[in-house]
Amino acid sequence: MTSMELPVLALNEVFIGESLSSRVSYYEIQIDDGAMVKQKSSGIAICTGTGSTSWYFNINKLTEQCVAELLRITAEHCKVNLPVDDKQVVTDICTKFNQQLIFEPDSPRMAFTVRDPIFNATFSPTTPRGFAEKIRVKSRGYDAHLVVDGGVSYRFNDGTEAIVEVREEDALQTVVFR
């Protein structure tokens, strides 16, 4: 097996998926030291702390409409009185959830999102979003790509493997002004 280190570093994110967004991506994924799991989805977005305020944030953020609907359903289902019509409560919950998606630019971990995961008898439910120090992906696609920061694209077809990680020597060096 030939191994190659790509000559680029990601500032924001790495996306792995089929070239046409309408096609389902098929791959195997391993998060940290977990088991290698087969998945189908619309692709995987992996971001650094810098990228957590961009595409990753917008993929995962909740809208006030969604929070309000969930509050209504929860109140009805649990037969409890919740302030479902209090716009400030809805806004506060929405903001709190969305802010926890953002993490420090110099964090040694990455966040990942499995976009539109397909769960069925063949593909068991897995964690669609989380944090990791190392992510290994093996392509089962036929026109897939690995895209760095929305610009540089590499073919990522059946059998190709990628390991995405933040290495200390490549970590972003930041200065925080307060």
Query: Domain holding 30: CATH number?
Result: 2.60.200.30
pLDDT in tens, 66-75: 999 999 999 9
Rounded Cα distance between 76 and 55, Å, is: 34
Domain match, 140 and 78 both: no
Q: Are 49 and 116 within one domain?
A: yes
pLDDT tens-place string over residues 123-145: 888 899 999 999 999 999 999 99
Q: Do 114 and 155 belong to one domain?
A: yes
pLDDT higher than threshold 80 for residue 175: no
Residues 37 and 124 in one domain: yes
116 located within any domain: yes
pLDDT value at residue 1: 59
Residue 2 confidence class, pLDDT cut points 50, 70, 90: low
Provide the token pair at 176: 């925080």
pTM exceeds cut of 0.75? yes
Share of the chain above pLDDT 90, in %: 79
Same domain for 82 and 133, yes or no, is: no
**Residue 7 resides in a domain:** no
Together in a domain, 78 and 155: no
Say yes or no: 52 and 114 in one domain.
yes
* Residue 121: per-residue pLDDT: 86
Top-confidence residue, 2 or 61: 61
- Domains in the chain: how many in total? 2
Q: Which of 45, 80, 99 is the last residue of a domain?
A: 99
Q: CB of 2 within 8 A of CB of 79? A: no
Q: For residue 39, with 0-12 CB atoms within 10 Å meaning exposed, 13-18 middle and 19 or more buried, which class applies?
A: buried
* pLDDT per position as a tens digit, 20-43: 888 999 999 999 999 999 999 999
Residue range(s) defining the domain that contains residue 155: 13-56+110-169
Q: Which of these three, 99, 126, 161, is where a domain ends? A: 99
